[in-house]
Structure 1
Amino acid sequence: MTVIDAAVYVGGARQDDASTVVEAAARVTQKGFAWVGLLRPSDEELAEVAGAFGVHSLAVEDAMKGHQRSKLERYGDNLAVVVRAARYIESTETVDFGEIHLFVGHKAIVAVRLAEEPDLAEVRSRLEGDPKLLALGPNAVLYAILDEVVDSYGPVMVGLENDIDEIEDQIFDQHAGIAVSRRIYELHREVIAFQRAVQPLVGMLAEVRSLAAEDETDIELRRLFRDVHDHVIRTSDRIDNFRSLLDNALNTHMSLVAQRETEASYAQNEQTKKISAWAAILFAPSLVGTIYGMNFRYMPELSWRYGYPLALGGMVVLGSVLFVIFRRAKWI
C-alpha cells in the first residue's frame, strides 16, 4: 500500500488515523478535514482516491501519467495542483526533480508524490506543531507544501551559481577547450529544466492568492501565500539572470577560442614565411652550383680563370639580394 500517512484533523489537532484512503474519507466530520499522503500510487489506488474524495478524472489522469509541468487547474470547488520540487546533485552538477500532485477540496487534501524527494513528513510534523495554522484547513496544508517546494529551490540556486562562477574562471584559461563548452551547454540545459519547473509557479501562486481572496481566506494565510509568491518571483528572476550569464559565457568562450585559433594560425603562418624565405635564399646558390655540377663537356666558364670566383660571387649576391628582399617584407 502506498499510503504514507493519513489522518483527520479537527481544530488544528490530529484526531483520527487512517490506514486507507476510503477510511480517511469516511472519518471526515463537518468540522475537520482529511490529509492523505501517497507515494507512487498505482492507477487503481488513484481511482480509489477519485472515488473517495471526488477528484476530477482529468486530474487523476495527469497523476497517472506523471511528467507534468507545474500548473493549477480548478474543477468546481476543488483544485488540482502540480508542483515540482528540486534538489541539486553536486557530483553530477545536475538538478533532480520530484513531482507532486495535490488534490485540494474543502474537506480534504491528498498529496501524491511520484518521487522519494521531498519528504513531506517534515511538513506534516511542522504543521502539527502549529495548530493555529493547521486549523485553517486544506489551504494551510497547500501553503505549507508550496513553501517546502519553493524552499527546496534555494540550495539549487546556490549550486548553479557556484558552477557558473567556476565556468567564468575556466573560460579565460589558456588551456580551456571543448570540455568547457560542453560544461556550459549541459549547465544551460539544467537551468532551462529548472526554469520550466519554477516559472509556472509565478502565475499559479498569483491565481492561488486570487482564489484565497475570493474565498475570504484568513488574512494571515493570504499573507503567507504572498510571501511564497514573492519568493518564487525572486527565484524566477535569478534563473533568468543565470541563463543570460551562461549565454554570455558561451559567446565569450567561443570568441576566445576563435581568437586563440587565429593567433595560432598567425604564428604558424609566420613560421611558414620564415621557412619559405630561407628555402628561397638557399635555393639561389644551390641553383648555380647545380648547373656547374652537370659536368657538361662544353661549358665556357670551366676553362675561364675567373669562372670559379664569378660563380661564388653570383651565389653570394643572389642570396644577399633575396635576404634583403625578405627582410624588408618582414618574412625573416
Structure 2
Amino acid sequence: MTTIDARIYVDGHLTSSPDDLAAAVEEMRQSGVVAWIGLQSPAPADLEAVAMTFDLHPLAVEDAQKGHQRAKLEWYGDTMFVVLRPTWYDDAAERVEFGEVHLFVGPDFVVTVRRERRPDLNAVRDTLESEPRFLGIGPRAMLTAFLDAIVDEDVPVVAGLEEDIDEVEDSLFGGAGVDISLSERIYRLLEQVIAFQRAIGPLPAMIRELLDGADGSGGSGDEVHNRLRNVLDHTVRVTERVDTCRALLDNALTVHSTLVSLEQNDAMRRMSSASFEQGEQVKRISSWAAILFTPTLIASVYGMNFDHMPELHWLWGYPFALTLMLGLGVGLWGIFKWRDWL
C-alpha cells in the first residue's frame, strides 16, 4: 500500500501537510512554494500519477519502479534523478544491509521514493525544518541534507567492519594455533566490504558533479556549496576506510592461507617422519626374522623322518648343521648391517 507524505514549504517554513497528491499539487500553484512528496512502497499507478504531475522522464520512472539500481545521478532536463544506497550493519550476522532511495529533484519539488523503512527520511525532514534559512534555499538544500544523512549512516557501518577485521587479525596472530574455519569468516567479510564499496563508490563523483553545479557566486548558494564540500570530505574518508578494509581482508586471507599451508606441511613432515621410523622398524624386524628363519629352516630339514638321509650316518653331520646355521645367520646379519637395516 502506498504511503504518501506531502509537505509544502514557503521560504523554508512549513505551511501545510496535504493529505493527498491532488491537494499538494493545488497548493503548488502558488508562487514561491516548494513541495516535498514522500512515497513509500508506491503502487505503479501512484508512481505514474506523480510522474505525470511533475513531468518526470519515463526512463527515470522506470528505474524507480524496478529498483535494484546502483547509486547514480542523472539529468533529465531541469530535473535530477538521484539514486542513493543507504546502509546499516548487522553486527551479529556480520552483514551489511542495503536500502534504496530514489529522488526526483526539480526546480520547486523533491519526490522521494523508497521501499524500506530505512533510512528514516522523516528525521532528515525534521532536521531541515529546524533550519528554515537553509531549507529556504530549495530542493538543492533538501538533496544536500539527504546526502549528508546517507553518508552519516555509512560511518557506523565502516566502524562495525573494522571491529570485525580487528577480531580476525587477533585470531590470525593470537598464537592459539591456526583456525581452519577462519578463512570462511574472512571471505564473508570481504564479500560484504565489496558490496559496500559498490554502494558508496559512485558518491564522490556524484557530489563533485553537484559541487560543479552549485552556485558559488555568493548568497544562499554558498551554504549549499559549503555543506556539499563537507559531505564530500566525509564521503572520501568513508571510501578510503572501506578501501583499507578490503586491503586488510585481502592480506588476511593470504596470510591465513599461508599459515594453513605451513600447518599442513608440518603435519605432512610429522607423518613422513613417523612413516620413515615405522619403515625402519619394519626393516629391523624383517632382518631379524630372516636371520632367525635360517636355522629354523635347516633344523626343520634335519627333522624330517626319512630313512635315506646321508647326513644321518655322517660323523660330522651334527657339527656341520650347527656350523651352517651359525654361518648363515652371521652372514645375513652382516649383509643387513651393511645395508643399514640393522
Q: What is the Cα deviation at residue 31 of structure 1? A: 1.0
1:252 partner SS: helix
User: Deviation per CA, 1:97-135, whole angstroms, max 9, x where unpaired?
Assistant: 110000001110011112111111111111111111111
Q: What is the Cα deviation at residue 4 of structure 1? A: 4.3
Q: What is the Cα deviation at residue 228 of structure 1? A: 0.5
The 5 A counterparts of 1:67-216 are 67-172=68-173, 173-177=176-180, 179-213=181-215
Q: CA RMSD in A?
A: 2.2
Greater mean deviation of Cα atoms: 85-94 or 19-28? 19-28
User: Deviation per CA, 1:27-85, whole angstroms, max 9, x where unpaired?
Assistant: 11211200111111111111011111121111111000000000000011110000000
Partner of 2:50: 49
**8 Å Cα contact 1:301/1:307 also seen in 2:** no
Q: What is the Cα deviation at residue 22 of structure 1? A: 2.7
1:34 partner SS: strand
* Shift in alpha-carbon separation, 1:302–1:16, aligned structure 2, 3 A: farther
Which of 291, 296, 301 is the equivalent residue of 1:296?
Answer: 301
The 5 A counterparts of 1:2-41 are 2-28=2-28, 29-41=30-42
Greater mean deviation of Cα atoms: 21-30 or 70-79? 21-30
Q: What is the Cα deviation at residue 10 of structure 1? A: 0.5
Which of 220, 223, 226 is the equivalent residue of 1:220?
Answer: 223
Amino acid at match of 2:18: A
Amino acid at match of 2:240: D
Q: 2: distance between equivalents of 1:261 and 1:283? A: 32
**8 Å Cα contact 1:88/1:96 also seen in 2:** yes
1:218 partner SS: helix
**8 Å Cα contact 2:87/2:97 also seen in 1:** yes
| Gaps in structure 2 of 5+ consecutive residues | 303-308, 312-316
**8 Å Cα contact 1:184/1:250 also seen in 2:** yes
Greater mean deviation of Cα atoms: 211-220 or 75-84? 211-220
**8 Å Cα contact 1:3/1:36 also seen in 2:** no
What percent identity do the matched residue pairs reach? Answer: 37
Give TM-score, length-normalised by structure 2. 0.88
The 5 A counterparts of 1:243-254 are 243-254=246-257
**8 Å Cα contact 1:3/1:20 also seen in 2:** no
Q: 1: distance between equivalents of 2:34 and 2:99? A: 26
**8 Å Cα contact 1:161/1:242 also seen in 2:** yes
Amino acid at match of 1:45: D
Larger-gyration structure (1/2): 2
The 5 A counterparts of 1:264-279 are 264-279=267-282
Q: What is the Cα deviation at residue 311 of structure 1? A: 6.0
> Does 2:257 align with 1:236?
no
**8 Å Cα contact 1:285/1:315 also seen in 2:** no
**8 Å Cα contact 2:124/2:149 also seen in 1:** yes
Partner of 2:306: none
2:148 partner SS: helix
2:99 partner SS: strand
Q: 1: distance between equivalents of 2:286 and 2:319? A: 22
Amino acid at match of 2:301: F
Q: 2: distance between equivalents of 1:302 and 1:232? A: 102
**8 Å Cα contact 1:70/1:198 also seen in 2:** yes
Q: 2: distance between equivalents of 1:165 and 1:310? A: 73
Q: 1: distance between equivalents of 2:341 and 2:24? A: 95
Greater mean deviation of Cα atoms: 253-262 or 310-319? 310-319
Greater mean deviation of Cα atoms: 289-298 or 26-35? 289-298
* Shift in alpha-carbon separation, 1:225–1:306, aligned structure 2, 3 A: same
Greater mean deviation of Cα atoms: 244-253 or 307-316? 307-316
Amino acid at match of 1:149: I
Q: 2: distance between equivalents of 1:4 and 1:128? A: 18
- Give runs of ≥4 in structure 1 deviating > 4 Å: 214-217, 298-303, 305-322
Partner of 1:330: none
1:132 partner SS: helix
1:296 partner SS: helix
